[in-house]
Structure 1
Amino acid sequence: MLLVAIAFAVFILMGMPVAFAIGISGALFFLQHPELPSTIPIQLTVTQTQNFALLAVPLFIMAGNFMNKTGITEQLLNLAAVLTGRLRGGIAQVSIALAALMGGVSGSCIADAAMQTRMLGDQMLKRGFSKGYAAGVLSFGSLLTPIIPPGIGFILYGTVGQVSIGRLFAAGFLPALLLWAALAFTIGVTAKRRGYQPERTARPSIREVGSAISGGIWALLFPVFLLLGLRMGVFTPSEIGAFAVIYAVTIGVVIYRKLNAAGFAEALEGSLVDVGAVMFLIALSGIFGYGIVFERVPEVISESMLDLTRNVHLVMLLIVLFILVAGCFIDGTVLIIMLTPIFLPLVRDLGVDPVHFGLVFVLVATIGNFTPPVGAAMYAVCSILKCRIGDYTRESLPFLLAVSVVTLALIFIPEVVLLVPDWIFGPS
């Protein structure tokens, strides 16, 4: 596997698409073992996608694209401005609130970061925000998106690790609120030092608040309907993905009446591209994963970590540090697919709840989208704002610190993660 790992690293540094880097480097393993049947790589590529639970992935991607065409984003932006416009930092606070409200709509931190930058980026610069600071707010705010249902990372982790997707969805609510509070506090402190003023000075009237809530209520109810459907046994995770698509189209056509034929076609086209990229990655990961199992890599890593310490919290910290470093070079989706079979058995043996570990894992893997040198969300935001990576890196450090503090709290206080799942679905 050493040759496979080196080849994978070289391909990534060369700029090769991640799916091809995984597939080609994984195929090298079979060249090293000519005794293995040559048909195995082909079989693995096909069978990797023959998992019924994976139907949820393209369906939720499609639902997110449809929701973005319904006009619901403008309603949520208005709600976010009403809720947070009087806080210090103004439009930066609005951005964080919008990211939290959009979590149940887009499901993708990269899409959310790019969308918010196009909507709010120019307005931040006109209000005197530096490019680096604006980019840091817009990128790290989108970290809330994948941990509010229906996050694609939870679906992948739950499918690969055979963990309840419903419990994972429920686990995201409290950590998302903690992240929102931590980022909002950080904005308040840094905005005061920089002299960034609130977006509005007058307290919103009851009528304004009621109008804003009624405008965004259908987006706010979306994750609630998902969890209720799973809890009451009305839907399986795959079936609820189909419900999400129908819900999004109904909202766009019947409620807001903004989903026209052109928007429908654009959503389908975007979904085809997104689904193709994700499923191709999943298919080729089967080739890479076979070598990991064959060479007993999970057992070797587990034994090495346990030789260092058997303290649950220290093992979790070691895993988090490993994922953070790997996330600087590898996309979070790839990390979830590749590392779940390695680390999940280890933490299970130590008595860690798989839902608790899954929340921390997905959160930390997603942070890689905001860190150089290959953070996809970072590049999306910086390219739109024409911000230098150095400026972004320097001015986003306070937000990285805030996220790190919340992550540490989630590691050492699992009750924060498990409270809602245990309340909705019962103790695990």
Structure 2
Amino acid sequence: MILEGSTILLLAFFGLLFLGAPIGVALGTAGILVIGVEGLGVMALPTNVWTGIAKYPLLALPMFVLAGMVFERSGVAQRLVDFAAALVGPRRGGLAIVAVLVCMVLGGISGSGAADAAAVAAVMLPPMLRQGYPRPYTASLVAAAGSTAVLIPPSIPFIVYAVLVPGVSVPALFIGGMVPGLLAGLSLLLPAIWLARRGQFGLPAPGEVRVPLWQAFKGAIWGLAAPVVILGGLRTGAFTPTEAAVVAVFYGLFVGLAVYRTLGWRDIYAVLGDAAEVSAVVLIIIALATIFAHAGSTLGAFDALAHSLIGLTDNATLMLLLITIVVLVAGTLIDAISIFLVFLPILLPIAQAFGWNLTWFGVILTMNVAVGAFTPPMAVNLMVTCRVAGCSIESTFPWVVWFVAAMTGALLLVTFVPELVLFLPRLAGAL
């Protein structure tokens, strides 16, 4: 029964993906097919779907999506660019540094890599083109820097991981992701500057006017304060991660309506509609994935597959490298949330068998996904930035490979030095 049902489950899932079915449809259909064929209890499906999404931490997901969209459309990104440009100063590759820094700050608001990359690409593309940056270079850099949004709290994938893995708290993941997120972003600066110098582009034009530092700081202070408000409230216990998402939304609305006055009521209506659409898609995928998970766990397919993988090697280092390769490849094809839903039932027993800390494991899985999000051929972030920049993904290959190598180096450092993830949560009492 296990072998037959597992075969049907996996063949149906990958077959539907190959035929072009959306990830949620493939997960749900494969699960329903196996439940029907193996007689696992069709009447239990509504309850399983409901319990899969009726979880308090998931309330933060649509709120952080909404908060990110509010900040993106209120002019915060442009003011952050002006401040970062004034801070970096006129130097070769200066705007490349600015793009990375702004992506990291916006990542502390939106929690979504694709949204972060899209917002920064739209703002950074015109000035970078004026300074001679090639379009494929700009698309590659912003796609890579935007991927730090899933590591720097608040992170939507961290919330989903905490929901799927019992005993792991969202605050611990948020705090644990701070150092890896900073390392990931800073690792991109070396190839960004080196490529600009090698290509002899990215030098400000003579007489180019820049906003004075103090003026730029005053304009950007509300955007810079947003991550401080969110993380400070979490650290002091003023609100939970779910409540922090609501605070972020109202903070963003206050900035857009009362401070910058760049948002009108019609804009808010449009933002609410877009955020509802994005959130609904994610939650529907999660709901359908619970059917797949129920079928696989009831059959014992995931445990059997996990034990088969464990049987390949009892060396923790080799197993980590194997998992890294698998998740990196998967990250080039599908988004972080889908990867967690598909692979966690298999990888969680492996992590438990080796005695790995599950908070650290969640952070390195997310970091793997972050690298995959801008690694061709089907990188989600790169698809977004190439669309904004008006270039093909193929044209980015000579550039993006350097950013992939740089962040992979940061990933390996975090993988083999777990204290880079764990020391801050322990210091904060989150572990």
TM-score range, shorter chain: over 0.9
CA distance in 2, matches of 1:201, 1:93: 19
Cα deviations by residue, 1:181-234 (Å, 9 ceiling, x for unpaired): 2111111111111112344899x99x9333333332332332332233233332
- Once the two structures are superposed, the pairs formed by residues 203-242 of structure 1 within 5 Å of their partners are 208-242=212-246
Aligned equivalents of 2:346, 2:271: Cα separation in 1: 36
Q: CA deviation at 1:286?
A: 0.6
Verify: 1:335 aligned to 2:339, yes or no: yes
CA distance in 1, matches of 2:312, 2:138: 41
Q: Does the 8 Å CA contact 1:84/1:97 hold for their aligned counterparts?
A: no
Question: Which range moves more in the overlay, 261-270 or 404-413?
Answer: 261-270
Q: Which moved more, 1:284-293 or 1:172-181?
A: 172-181
1:19 to 21, 24, 29: 24
Question: What's 1:7 paired with?
Answer: 12
1:30 maps onto 2:67 in alignment: no
Query: Structure 2 counterpart of 1:25, which letter?
Result: A
Check whether the contact 1:86–1:200 (CA below 8 A) recurs between aligned residues: no
User: Deviation at 1:309?
Assistant: 2.7
Residue identity in the other structure for 2:182: L
Task: State the distance in 1 between where 2:7 and 2:365 align.
Answer: 24
CA contact (8 A) 1:85 1:93 kept: no
After superposition, the C-alpha distances for 1:16-57 in whole angstroms (9 at most, x for unaligned) are 2222122112211113212x2221223322221111121111
* SS of equivalent to 2:53: coil
Choose which of 104, 113, 116 in structure 1 pairs with 2:117: 113
Q: 1:210 to 1:353 in 2, by over 3 A?
A: farther
Letter aligned with residue 154 of structure 1: F
Question: What is the rounded CA distance, in whole Å, between the counterparts of 2:397 and 2:43 in structure 1?
Answer: 46
Deviations 1:257-315 (A, max 9, x none): 22211221121111111111111111111111112212323422332333233333322
- What do the CA deviations read for 1:345-394 (whole angstroms, capped 9, x no partner)? 42233232222111111121233322334322222222232312221123
2:171 maps to which of 141, 166, 177: 166
CA distance in 2, matches of 1:302, 1:4: 16
After superposition, residues 13-412 of structure 1 pair within 5 angstroms as 13-34=18-39, 36-162=40-166, 163-199=168-204, 208-412=212-416
Give, in whole Å, the separation in 1 of the partners of 2:19 and 2:89.
45
Separation of aligned partners in 1, 2:385 and 2:342: 27
**Distance between the aligned counterparts of 1:340 and 1:218, measured in 2?**
38
The 1:265/1:24 distance shift into structure 2, 3 A limit, reads same
CA contact (8 A) 2:149 2:155 kept: yes
Identity of aligned residues (%): 30
Between 21-30 and 299-308, the greater mean CA deviation after superposition: 299-308
Q: Structure 1, residues 228-255: CA drift from partner, whole Å, max 9, x if none? A: 3233332222222222222221222233
Residue type of the alignment partner of 2:155: G
Q: Report the RMSD for the aligned CA atoms in angstroms.
A: 2.3
State how far apart, in whole Å, the 2-side matches of 1:345 and 1:209 are: 52
Amino acid at match of 2:57: A
Q: Residues 101 and 231 (structure 1 numbering): CA distance in 2 closer, same or farther, change over 3 Å?
A: closer
1:353 and 1:223 map into 2 onto residues whose CA distance is 27
Q: 1:198 to 1:93 in 2, by over 3 A?
A: farther
Equivalent position amino acid for 1:66 in 2: V
Structure 2 spans left out of the alignment, 5+ residues: 1-5
Report the secondary structure of 1:310's partner residue.
Answer: coil
Does the 8 A contact of 2:96 with 2:193 survive in 1? no
1:38 to 1:111, Cα distance in 2 relative to 1, 3 A:
same
- In 2, the alpha carbon distance for the partners of 1:396 and 1:283 equals 34
User: How far off is 1:403 after superposition?
Assistant: 0.9
Q: Secondary structure of 2:212's match?
A: helix
Query: Aligned pair in 2 of structure 1 residues 44, 115: CA closer, same or farther (>3 Å)?
Result: same
Q: CA deviation at 1:94?
A: 1.6
Q: Which residue type is aligned with residue 191 of structure 1?
A: A
Residues 60-69 or 249-258, more deviating: 249-258
Change (3 A) 1:352 1:87: farther
Residues 176 and 213 of structure 1: is their aligned pair in 2 closer, same or farther, counting only changes over 3 Å?
Answer: farther
